[in-house]
Amino acid sequence: MIKKVLTLLFSALFILAGNNVLAKKHPVNRVDPANWFVELPNPNLELIISQEGIGNSTATVNYTGVSVVKTETPTNPNYLYLTLHISKDCKPGIVPIILKKDKKEYLINYELKSRRAKGKYAQGVKPEDLIYLIMPDRFANGDYSNDIIRNTNEPSINRDSMYWRHGGDIKGIINHLDYLQNLGITSLWLNPVQENNQPKTSYHGYAITDHYTIDSRLGSNKDYIALVDSLHARDMKMVMDIVPNHIGNEHYLFKELPSADWVNQWDKFTRTTYRAPTLLDPYVSAKDLKTFNDGWFDYHMPDLNQKNPHVANYLTQSYIWWVETAGVDDFRIDTYAYPDQEYMSKLGKELKEAFPEMNMFGEIWEHGVTVQSFFADGFSSRNDMNSNLPGVIDFQVYNAINDALTKPFGWTDGVARIYYTLAKDILYKDAMRNVTFLDNHDLSRFYSVVGEDIRKFKMGVAFLLTMRGIPSVYYGTEILMTGFSNPDGLVRSDFSGGWKEDKQDKFQASGRTELENEAVNYFSSIANWRKSSEAATNGKLMQFVPEKSIYVYFRYTDSEKVMVVMNAANDAQTLDLKRFDEMTQGKTSGKEISSGKVIDLTKSINLEPWSVQVLELK
């Protein structure tokens, strides 16, 4: 009898224990994105849930305004795709998501947040802005405690090596916002700041290993948000650099692929041809097209397959998340031509629907205006699939100004190349949205290109800050930093003064040479003047056919005119102004912006060799 009672008792305890096991809710390893937002135009959200054996789970949600659309299990059973519908009237809060698999339950307390209040975010960069491109690791070290992070794949720094990390970070940038604002900068563009946990050359940021986390060597998500908030407090903006084409091979979604088609697979390593014309070539080889589209950018940069809808959702949602989380104002899109173009069109459309003021611009590092303009929205032969890309990084104008300052004048050469390049603006829906530049993190330093000639430096700066489009300047250009991109690490040197051990502080006038101060003063004089010049920023453009190495153009509105005169010759010249009377009529003088001198426009003007004059007409 006692034995029977004990048996029943143990059976009851076992049943109760079993029920407790069923009742226990387990956490999951990871959910991307970790939270989301109500009142976005796209009501559907796809979560990627990572947990051993989570595949084929069923999902239930008990929250007003949120419903389960579907669950999908990829070939890897350690992932689950969960699509939720978030209605227009859904309120912010914690959404309990319960996943059931066999006898096990998982609980995800998923947070839905309010969108940011309208105002200083997603503002978009515009022609009145001046963008400053910074490679964070090489600009300034504001927090020495994050120089070496032991659990990373590259836990070391070496400022003597162009390939290793140097210790620059987000706090270093925050510490120098006064310098940037005084210089005339209105927007920052940072090379990618998300985690790049790669074993080599991880400093540049273009091999992302976690789309939702700031690299710990640069700071934290909170640090990044603090930087954006600091910019907005100064009426400045933040441009985030995004990379939809590829990831780093240490990314968790590559190390354990959800499915084989998450990336473009080859029998052996196949590099892209880097030949974007294959996308518009009417005679293209199918093999060439596939190699360009699906080839990898490099051995350690797997090529993402945006045709896979889950890859597409993952990327798009990460970009929206950063805008709402950090208050990002715009996107620069890396290697724009390389991802699937149908996806890129959809990405542009969805971002514009969510953030109407954004003015995304893409990197089109190609040859010729036709190829470059093909990727900007409104290109005539792409009406069946508009790119929805407002602007491009204008490599053709970059090539033209470099030729103008380094090659002899000819029918199409020297300053004539600027004329011919701009005449092709007819191919763009709105060339004013293109981003112009003199150099960047992949190209030789402008001051080196022009032979370290301060006269040519000033000509380039004046052109950049008065030409159509949105100007962008690479960090250190204003202090005459030098270097040729062979290899590219040579143009990514540290900004002297950004490290406490630096002997010279180039952020301060006292730490710069006389020539460097001349360059900074010239740059800042025009950069700060253009803030109040509607003509120089948003005015129309009229250019005149170059003659005798002299190139003249005007930026103008109904009430304001700016005249720019460039003499790209080794000799002094005299310019007769009668030819320009359609723009100068009624104007008797012009104030030269950098010097403050008043120029008499009723007679010919004298031009020094390799000189530029920016005249505000009176």
State pLDDT tens for residues 249-262: 999 999 999 999 99
**How many independent structural domains does the chain possess?**
3
Query: Is there a single domain that holds both residue 83 and residue 136?
Result: no
Amino acid at 370: T
Mean pLDDT of 518-535: 98
pLDDT at 224 over 90: yes
Domain termination residue (choose one: 80, 113, 146) = 113
Does residue 354 sit within a domain?
yes
437 conformational bin, left if phi > 0, alpha if psi -120 to 50, beta if neither: beta
Shared-domain flag, residues 96 and 190: no
Domain that holds residue 91: 25-113
pLDDT at 169: 98
> Within a domain: residue 122?
no
**Cα dihedral value 596, 600, 601, 603, nearest 10:** -150
pLDDT at 599: 94
Q: Are residues 453 and 554 in the same domain?
A: no
Q: What is the mean pLDDT of the chain?
A: 95
237 lies in the same domain as 259? yes
Q: What is the pLDDT of residues 464-520, one digit of tens each?
A: 999 999 999 999 999 999 999 999 999 999 999 999 999 999 999 999 999 999 999
For residues 286-301, average pLDDT:
96
Over 80: is that where the pLDDT of 381 sits?
A: no
Residue 2 pLDDT: 52
The reply to whether 17 falls in a domain is no
**Residue 16: what pLDDT?**
42
Which of 1 and 527 is assigned the larger pLDDT?
Answer: 527
> Percent of the chain scored above 70 by pLDDT?
96
By annotation, the residues acting in catalysis are 334, 363
Residues 158 and 70 in one domain: no
Pairwise CA distance, residues 394 & 425, whole Å: 11
Ramachandran region of residue 610, left (φ > 0), alpha (ψ -120 to 50) or beta?
left
Is 423 a member of any domain?
Answer: yes
Among 472, 507, 531, give the residue marking a domain's end. 531
Single out the residue of 414, 407, 489, 406 nearest to residue 448, CA to CA: 406
Q: How confident is the model at residue 9 (pLDDT cuts 50, 70, 90)?
A: very low
Question: Within 175-283, where are the H helices?
Answer: 177-183, 221-233, 252-255
Examine the domain organization and report whether 492 and 599 are in the same domain: no
Whole-prediction pTM: 0.94
Query: Which tens digit of pLDDT belongs to each residue from 72-91?
Result: 999 999 999 999 999 999 99
Domain assignment present for 408: yes
112-122 mean pLDDT? 93
Q: How does pLDDT run across 386-412, given as a tens digit for each residue? A: 899 999 999 999 999 999 999 999 999
Residues 51 and 34 in one domain: yes
Q: Tell me if 124 is assigned to some domain.
A: no
42-58 pLDDT, tens digit per residue, is 999 999 999 999 999 99
- The owner of tokens 């912006």 is 593
Would the pLDDT of 12 be above 80?
Answer: no
pLDDT digit string, tens, across residues 62-73: 999 999 999 999
Which pLDDT belongs to residue 201?
Answer: 92
pLDDT at 125 over 90: yes
CATH number at residue 91: 2.60.40.10
Residue 7 has pLDDT above 60, yes or no: no
The dihedral of CA 85, 88, 90, 93: what is its sign?
Answer: positive
pLDDT for the residue 379: 83
Residues 187 and 80 occupy one common structural domain: no
Same domain, 441 and 394: yes
Confirm whether 563 is domain-assigned: yes
Q: What percent of the chain has pLDDT over 90?
A: 94
Q: Is the pLDDT of residue 22 over 70?
A: no
The answer on 265 and 136 residing in a single domain is yes
CATH number at residue 453: 3.20.20.80
Asked if 90 and 158 sit in the same domain, the reply is no
CATH number at residue 586: 2.60.40.1180
E strand spans, 103-258:
104-113, 131-134, 187-190, 194-195, 210-214, 237-242
Q: For residue 23, name the pLDDT band (cuts at 50, 70, 90).
A: low
527 and 543 share one domain: no
Residues in a beta bridge with 565: 552, 613
Say if 13 falls within a structural domain: no
Across 142-169, average pLDDT:
96
562-573 pLDDT, tens digit per residue, is: 999 999 999 999
Q: Alpha-carbon distance 142 to 500, whole Å?
A: 9
Burial class (CB in 10 A: 0-12, 13-18, 19+), 570: exposed
Q: Which two tokens stand for residue 267?
A: 């029998």
Name the domain boundary from 531, 549, 568. 531
